[in-house]
Amino acid sequence: MKHFDVVIVGSGASGGAVAYTLCRAGYKVAVLEKGRLIRREAFSKDELAYCRRDIVTPSLFDEYHLIEEKVGDQWVATPTYESGWSFWNGNIVGGSSNLMSGMLHRMHPDDFRLKSKYGEIEGANVVDWPITYTEMEPYYAMAESVIGISGVAQKHRFEPWRSTPDFPQPPTRENEVVKLFDKSCRALGITPLVTPRAVLSRDKEHRNACYYSNFCGSYGCSSGAKGSATEALLFPALSTGNLTLMSHTHVKYLKSSKEKVTSAVTVDTVTGETREITADIFVLAAQAHESVRLLLNSKNRHHPGGLSNSSGELGKNLLFSAGGSGQGELHRESLKEISFEALMERGLFVNRSILDWYYIDHWWDGRFKGGSVEFMFEHQNIISMACKNNEEGGKLIWGKALGERVAKRFKESKSIRFEIFNDWLPNDDCFVTVDEAHRDKYGMPVGKLRIAAHPHDLKVGSYLAGKCEAVLEEMGAKNIYSAISALPPQNLIAGGCRFGDDPGTSVLNRHCRSHDIPNLYVADASFMPTGGSVAYTWTIYANAFRVADHIVRDLSKM
């Protein structure tokens, strides 16, 4: 096996971004991905396969996590093969970026200095980031351009400043429901914003514009419009001739001396063959909880607590996204402003978000960090929508009554939904370890996630849910409800390898390089000390571009 300049573990948003920059700079890179490659032409809108079976994640009987939750006074660990609660996300080339909805925001400048801005919160480990928004901004702009984020620059007091005048592409097409939404928001004194979206509204190089399939999130994109790592980063990286993309290649652990990582020990997931792959620099990009697990499973006599764990901080302060969701139904007979036929037009987006409550400073409500809200149609999956309408009062509905109800639900109404994103406060009861007694099919200890949300997160989420329900009410929606939960969304994971300037309290330095091992980087969302109140993806892309630039500087000195 040849020696590479850089080995990257994981091919998702962060791994793709690092590979893109390094390959274009002329370095020989291997990306190791345990999943398979699904080409654009093979991505179909098969609800059964993508949304109801595990075709893009491992079997939980083969590979699982232990999830530790507090029951009464006890911490109880449940294997995910028992609960069915999978913590895998898109284990294919390009990772879960293939399956995202692509509703993205930049983090606000004050998110980089949350402690300075809002002070301590008891029971939470809030710290400032070692870098500022000013250092990240060029990379947010780069992601916008390279990934292809469509949108329109809008002035808003909580919209982060930008170095470029506008987005590279205009927003994707919108359903007429936005007329009703915008009018309702304004009636309540709220400013509706067009959501930036990692979906092309126009063709871009080898990728075609969105064709409005009506089935976006949870599915791969068949036109290449979605800004997945595969389409936007890995294919261009491959075209340089410098990328070796190794699918079906699972990394069990890293070998290292005291000073450097020397190889990645891999197993071919099809043949079971074990190999060692060597490089000058190693970059982990396996998603936060799995990168931590890999570092812990790579412990040796030089690093008995795992790699990059001299601080004892590895795995701590795991983050999810707090908040929840809600929805309401727009009915034919009570619809205002637009025609029912326009509402029912398939495929077009809602593309609306509200940032008015990103920070709350109110004479009665108080002064605290709030969050962002996305509005969208309920997912149009047919099986799941039908299944949501087959019970009442805990009893199944069947027979002719079922047919009446399901047909009416599909034909006479359409639901509009909101998703709330607020900070998941880092705390001492949310972290990753490994459990030696539980091993995956490759013989390696599985990740054990202790999960607890700070009570403050629920207060903020509930506050925002009340505001969102008022918007739906103003729109004339019926059967409005929302659910704010302490349960984590398992597709929004960050933290566990905090970056910081003090090697005593952080795992990575400001460039996401290990404090302990100079040729080891972690490029995924695990670097984040606090998560901000937006989906992580844009920040993951931006930070990985930033880290890649630093690696190029490192390599140029070798």
Binding site for other proteins (CB under 8 A): 38, 41-49, 52-55, 57, 59-62, 81-84, 86, 213-215, 219, 222, 380, 382-383, 386-387, 390-391, 395-396, 398-400, 402-404, 406-407, 409-411
Structural tokens at position 351: 């593309």
DSSP 8-state code for residue 12: S
Residue (409 or 478) nearer to other proteins, CB = 409
Residues 244, 32: Cα–Cα separation, whole Å: 9
Q: What are phi and psi of 118, to 5 degrees?
A: -115, -5
Smaller CB distance to other proteins: residue 62 or 365? 62
Within 10 Å of residue 122's Cβ, how many Cβ atoms?
Answer: 6
> Shortest distance, CB of residue 61 to other proteins, whole angstroms?
4
- Phi and psi at 359, nearest 5°, equal -125, 135
Residue 488 CB, nearest approach to other proteins (Å): 16
We find the least distance from the C-beta atom of residue 338 to other proteins, in angstroms, to be: 19
CB 500 within 8 A of CB 205: no
Complex with other proteins: residue 60 or 420, whichever CB lies closer: 60
Q: Is 294 helix (H, G, I), strand (E, B) or coil?
A: helix
Closer to other proteins by CB, 213 or 310: give it: 213
DSSP 356-403: TTSEEEETTTEEEE-EEEEEEEPP--HHHHHHTTSEETTEE--THHHH
Contacts of 12 (CB under 8 A, 6+ apart): 90, 94, 95, 96, 97, 229, 285, 287, 524
The residue to which tokens 């998110």 are assigned = 111
**Which is closer to other proteins, CB of 25 or CB of 386?**
386
Helices of type H across 232-390: 235-239, 288-297, 340-343, 382-387
Looking at the Cβ atoms of 214 and 505, the one nearer to other proteins is: 214
Q: Which residue's CB is nearer to other proteins, number 119 or number 443?
A: 443
| Least Å from the CB of residue 200 to other proteins | 18
Residue partners of 423: CB distance under 8 A and separation at least 6: 114, 322, 369, 371, 457, 460, 530, 531, 532, 533
Number of neighbouring beta carbons within 10 Å of residue 48: 9
Q: How far is the CB of 425 from other proteins (least distance, A)?
A: 27
Residue 52 or 186 having the CB closest to other proteins: 52
Supply the minimum distance, in Å, between the C-beta of residue 166 and other proteins.
31
Closest approach, Cβ 94 to other proteins, in A, equals 15
Nearer to other proteins, 395 or 557 (CB): 395
CB of 373 to other proteins, least distance (A): 26
Q: What is the dihedral of CA 61, 67, 68, 72, to 10 degrees?
A: -90
Q: Residue type at 103?
A: M
Q: Provide Rg for the chain, Cα atoms.
A: 23
Please state whether beta strands 243-246 and 29-32 pair in parallel, antiparallel, or not at all (unpaired): parallel
State the minimum distance, in angstroms, from the CB of residue 440 to other proteins.
13
CA torsion sign for 219, 414, 346, 397 is: positive
Q: Which is nearer to other proteins, 46 or 365 (CB)?
A: 46
- Residue 247 C-beta: closest distance to other proteins, Å: 15
d(CA 536, CA 316): 18
Q: How far is the CB of 349 from other proteins (least distance, A)?
A: 14
Whole-number Cα distances in Å, 524 to 70, 284, 511, 519, 555:
28, 7, 12, 16, 20
Shortest distance, CB of residue 67 to other proteins, whole angstroms?
14
Note the helical H segments in 63-221. Answer: 80-83, 114-118, 133-143, 177-187
520: left (phi over 0), alpha (psi -120 to 50) or beta: beta
Nearer to other proteins, 2 or 395 (CB): 395
What letters, b where the CB count within 10 A reaches 16 and e where it falls short, cover 357-379? bbbbeeeeeeebbbbbbbbbbeb
Helix (H) and strand (E) counts in the chain: 14, 23
Cβ proximity to other proteins, 27 vs 219, nearer residue = 219
Residue 118 or 410: which CB sits closer to other proteins?
410
Q: Report in angstroms how near the CB of residue 165 gets to other proteins at its nearest.
A: 35
